[in-house]
Chains A and B, each alone.
Chain A
Amino acid sequence: MAKKALLTASILAATMTAGAVQAATLDDVKSRGTLTCGVSTGLAGFSQKDENGKWSGLDVDMCRAVAAAVLGDSEAVQYKPLTAKERFTALASGEIDMLSRNTTWTHTRDTSLGINFAGTNYYDGASFMVMKDLGVSSATQLDGANACIQAGTSTELAIADYFRENGMSYKAVTFDTSDQTRQGFESGRCDFLTSDGSQLAALRIGLANPGNAVILPEVISKEPLGPVVRQGDDQWFNIVKWSLNAMIEAEEQKVTSANASDMKANGNPANKRLLGSEGELGGNLGLSADWAYNIITQVGNYSESFERNVGMDSPLKLARGINASWRDGGILYAPAMR
């Protein structure tokens, strides 16, 4: 027992020292010339590799944005594919400079792991998919139905809470992998399939006939996903946070990769502040004045990144939903850029 406690203590101590020191990530990145960014080993639309080994996705664009802001080159990124178990150790040990791997922002993680969430780049949540011929248009009509669930996911918990809250019952049919879950749903083992909304879209494409299935409007849990940095390096935290905010702000100001050069010279004062032809925004972050200009010309604003990776220009065809800008009825809102 005592030995176990000692071991735990030494691991904790190692974690903390690893988390506490390691200041000046910015200098490290600049002297190395590349940003090392932890991504998922493969998640459709968020971080995925293509046949030529090129990374793309909404989470990958976050890495590219930071690289563009810091180094002026969105391609200067070394991607480290990480499993869910490794991600926080990799960040704590300094193996990666930032983590952008569909990580849910929770109180426990934010306060006990020595990490900081730099914002939310996608608001996800558990949702339902049903076959069209079931004739269901709302989750409240699912009383007594069979549910296809992937074992061991947080969705399992969310759906139990939701059904209890609404006085309904369901019968769970659990599967081991998402592929099996989809096959179970397709073969009629259950009436509806539940998973995170972004996952449902990917699962739906895998069906033999995607047109037969619909995703219900209810979202029953909060899964805000965002980039993560180590605690104890506030300058780096600010850089990642404001790189994300710059993409969101650019969409609000209708600055796109196509018109950014024009806006930099001829835009209104807010455009000019964002793009660096006026003001001190870059300098305050320890970056060059054209940090946000580099992000927007090389990666695009949030809307461009969203549509390209998960939205209407991608196979996933996710609607903006709550991930729309606050001006369009969503909840994406960048603090004031001034």
Chain B
Amino acid sequence: MKEFQPIAARPAPIKTVGFTAWLRDNLFSTIPNAVVTLSVIALLAYYLPLIFDWAFWSANFTGTTEDACVKEGACWVFINAWSYQFFYGTYPVEEVWRINLTLVLLVMVIAASFTLPKSIRLKASITSWLLLPVVGIAILDGRLLGLEVVSTDLWGGFTLNVFMAAASIIVAFPFSFLWALGRRSEMPFIRSVSVIFIEFFRGVPVLSLFFMGSVMLPLFFAEGTNVDKLIRVWLVLIFFMSGYMAEVFRGGFQAVPSGQYEAADSIGLSYWQKILLIILPQVIKVSMPNILATFVMLFKNTTFLLIIGIPEVVQTLQTALSNSYWLGGHALEGYLFVFLVFWGSCFSMSVLARRIERQMNTDKRD
């Protein structure tokens, strides 16, 4: 008796697999597609060598002054020489560990809030998030910890963008939650106050808010009180952010089915028990993508601080470009650098965001 031997599977026809088939399907499927493909290749072939030549082969990498830029291409010496300023501003070199420590704390808190064991995660991460701005400011300023005081006019560079964005969103988070609750409230006074606040800060461009904070606000303070410029701007960012986040949260509240509210009522939970134990966890889960998108937006908005002379990274770049020893036109290198730094951080944030979303997605796995 012959045992049944299936014929080995035949490979797919040569026309449908492999590189040529992929090319045919994706790049040359129709005549217009083929034309577009060829012209894109032609453009790349023409420009890429020029760009690479400028950025790498005939670029200047070593040296500390502008005189070192002798070759035709990019002057990366400029970025190298100013890199400390671009990252840390004028923060004293011997104290810079404080900035690094704060950055490490920030990363640790982010990591902790989704790697800690589930039983303590919520309480531990909320506490550490709320403590972070206080601890961070104490470390950077130094007054409370008995370190050398570094006044805020010395803070600057890219780390200032990061800290301003992080500090505003952390403080804005609880506030925006309250504003969103207020807007859904049935008490007319609370509701109208919330609506006015949210609509004001959402309806006014952030640039004009910065101008108000830096130019108008000081005129209304009592004589002799000088609120630090950075604190004024921080307040503006918090208000702006909480207006936006309130709307994000409101969307989250609306997405929670009304059965959840009614179920909570029916087992006799109080208002705050209902909101905090039943509704809020679901709201945060639903709103997570939007919260992170808003954060990326705010982070990029911190570069607008340059119009009121806060030495964040773009302002530092412009200061560097106007130094009389660096007047040789390095704007392209500088802005390319800022572009890469921001793109790198925003891209890693969205990778992180996707990971958090996947982790929180407990009911609708696909």
Which residues of A are in contact with B by a Cβ distance under 8 Å?
11, 14-15, 17-18, 21-22, 41-45, 48-53, 78-83, 85-86, 89-90, 92-95, 179, 182, 202, 205-206, 208, 309-310, 314-316
Of the candidates A21, A48, A52, A93, the one whose C-beta lies within 8 Å of that of B219 is: A93
The 10 listed contacts between A and B (C-beta, < 8 Å) are A11-B216, A14-B219, A17-B223, A78-B151, A80-B229, A86-B215, A89-B215, A89-B218, A90-B218, A94-B223
Expressed in whole angstroms, the minimum distance between the Cβ of B232 and any Cβ of chain A is 10
Q: Which residue of A lies closest to B84 (CB)?
A: A51
Chain-A contact segment, one of B4-12, B40-48, B119-127, B322-330: B322-330
Given contacts A48-B322, A80-B153, A86-B308, is CB(A93)–CB(B327) below 8 Å? no
Does B189 belong to the interface (CB within 8 Å)? no
Q: Which residue of B lies closest to A94 (CB)?
A: B226
Residues facing A in B2-60 (CB within 8 A) are none
Residues facing A in B212-249 (CB within 8 A) are 214-216, 218-221, 223-224, 226, 229
Asked whether A202 lies within 8 Å of B324 as measured between CB atoms, the reply is yes
Expressed in whole angstroms, the minimum distance between the Cβ of B204 and any Cβ of chain A is 15
Asked whether B324 lies within 8 Å of A315 as measured between CB atoms, the reply is yes
The range of chain B's interface size is 35 or more
Determine the chain B residues whose CB is within 8 A of the CB of A17 once the complex forms.
Answer: 223
Residues facing A in B292-330 (CB within 8 A) are 307-309, 311, 315, 318-325, 327-329
Expressed in whole angstroms, the minimum distance between the Cβ of B253 and any Cβ of chain A is 35
Determine the chain B residues whose CB is within 8 A of the CB of A83 once the complex forms.
Answer: 307-309
Asked whether A51 lies within 8 Å of B309 as measured between CB atoms, the reply is no
| A202 to B323 CA separation, bound complex (whole angstroms) | 9
Does B90 belong to the interface (CB within 8 Å)? yes
Asked whether B318 lies within 8 Å of A51 as measured between CB atoms, the reply is no
Instruction: Classify the secondary structure of B's interface with A.
Output: helix
Asked whether A18 lies within 8 Å of B323 as measured between CB atoms, the reply is no
Of the candidates B211, B223, B315, B321, the one whose C-beta lies within 8 Å of that of A18 is: B223
Asked whether B153 lies within 8 Å of A78 as measured between CB atoms, the reply is yes
Does B331 belong to the interface (CB within 8 Å)? yes
Given A89-B214, A202-B322, A205-B328, 5 more pairs with CB closer than 8 A: A18-B218, A42-B322, A49-B323, A51-B84, A94-B224
Residues facing A in B150-189 (CB within 8 A) are 151, 153-154
Asked whether A18 lies within 8 Å of B324 as measured between CB atoms, the reply is no
Determine the chain A residues whose CB is within 8 A of the CB of B229 once the complex forms.
Answer: 80, 95
Expressed in whole angstroms, the minimum distance between the Cβ of B250 and any Cβ of chain A is 30
| A199 to B318 CA separation, bound complex (whole angstroms) | 15
Given contacts A17-B223, A81-B311, A86-B308, is CB(A44)–CB(B324) below 8 Å? yes
Given contacts A42-B322, A44-B322, A86-B309, is CB(A92)–CB(B219) below 8 Å? yes
Asked whether B219 lies within 8 Å of A41 as measured between CB atoms, the reply is no
Asked whether B218 lies within 8 Å of A44 as measured between CB atoms, the reply is no
Given contacts A53-B89, A83-B309, is CB(A205)–CB(B327) below 8 Å? yes
Q: Which residue of A lies closest to B226 (CB)?
A: A95
Q: Which residue of A lies closest to B90 (CB)?
A: A53
Given contacts A86-B308, A95-B218, A205-B328, is CB(A44)–CB(B153) below 8 Å? no
| A315 to B67 CA separation, bound complex (whole angstroms) | 12
Does B114 belong to the interface (CB within 8 Å)? no
Given contacts A48-B322, A53-B89, is CB(A41)–CB(B309) below 8 Å? yes
| A49 to B324 CA separation, bound complex (whole angstroms) | 10
Given contacts A18-B223, A89-B218, A94-B226, is CB(A49)–CB(B319) below 8 Å? yes
Asked whether B324 lies within 8 Å of A48 as measured between CB atoms, the reply is yes
Given contacts A18-B223, A51-B84, A53-B89, is CB(A43)–CB(B218) below 8 Å? no
Does B85 belong to the interface (CB within 8 Å)? yes
Expressed in whole angstroms, the minimum distance between the Cβ of A111 and any Cβ of chain B is 20
Determine the chain A residues whose CB is within 8 A of the CB of B61 once the complex forms.
Answer: none
Expressed in whole angstroms, the minimum distance between the Cβ of B219 and any Cβ of chain A is 4
Determine the chain B residues whose CB is within 8 A of the CB of A52 once the complex forms.
Answer: 84
Does B87 belong to the interface (CB within 8 Å)? no
| A22 to B151 CA separation, bound complex (whole angstroms) | 23
Expressed in whole angstroms, the minimum distance between the Cβ of B318 and any Cβ of chain A is 6
Q: Which residue of B lies closest to A89 (CB)?
A: B215
| A206 to B322 CA separation, bound complex (whole angstroms) | 10
Q: Which residue of A lies closest to B327 (CB)?
A: A205
Asked whether B219 lies within 8 Å of A179 as measured between CB atoms, the reply is no
Determine the chain A residues whose CB is within 8 A of the CB of B226 once the complex forms.
Answer: 93-95
Asked whether B325 lies within 8 Å of A21 as measured between CB atoms, the reply is no
Given contacts A83-B308, A95-B226, is CB(A53)–CB(B324) below 8 Å? no
Asked whether A85 lies within 8 Å of B327 as measured between CB atoms, the reply is no
Determine the chain A residues whose CB is within 8 A of the CB of B201 once the complex forms.
Answer: none
Q: Which residue of A lies closest to B78 (CB)?
A: A51
Determine the chain A residues whose CB is within 8 A of the CB of B261 once the complex forms.
Answer: none
